[in-house]
Amino acid sequence: MPAVGGSIQAVSLRGRLLPVAADADGTRDIGGFANEVQSNGDGSARIVKTRKPWIIGGLTLEVDDDRADQEFLQEIADSNDYVSITIELVSGTVYMGEGTITDNIEFSTQNSTAGVTLSGPRNLEQQ
């Protein structure tokens, strides 16, 4: 079976399903470790591992004023807790994790969308 890329179908934040614009090109890092190689004086080297969060950026979510979606997104950003997050890809693959909204929530009145970045602890896991 070939690899399938394309639109992200939807994102669920704290149980609320938000459609993603079809032309949004999401970038995904499932978390884990970032590695750095540091030299020793004798010419050998060490691997220094730094844990990193998962992150998905480039999301353009539909924002419906009748559902107060922008306020809902800001409420998540304002919260001190992580929320459950589910990301459904066009291939049918689903990723889940807990996290929050990072960066600014960029609302477009012309398109009724908001650009968001999501990030969280541990790993974003394929279901």
Residue 3 is assigned to a structural domain of this protein: no
Task: Give the pLDDT confidence score for residue 7 in this predicted structure.
Answer: 86
* Separation between Cα atoms, residue 1 and residue 28, nearest integer Å: 22
- Alpha-helical regions (H) of the chain: 69-78
Residue 2 is assigned to a structural domain of this protein: no
Residue 86 is assigned to a structural domain of this protein: yes
Phi, psi torsion values for 69, nearest 5 degrees:
-65, -40
* pLDDT tens column, 60-104: 999 999 999 999 999 999 999 999 999 999 999 999 999 999 999
Predicted structure pTM score:
0.90
Phi-psi region at 37: left, alpha or beta (left = phi > 0; alpha = psi -120 to 50): beta
| Domain CATH code at residue 25 | 2.40.30.200
Contacts of 77 (CB under 8 A, 6+ apart): 100, 101, 105
* pLDDT tens column, 3-21: 999 889 999 999 999 999 9
Domain hosting 100: range is 8-126
Contact 124, 89 (CB under 8 A): no
Task: Give the pLDDT confidence score for residue 8 in this predicted structure.
Answer: 92
Q: How many domains in the chain?
A: 1
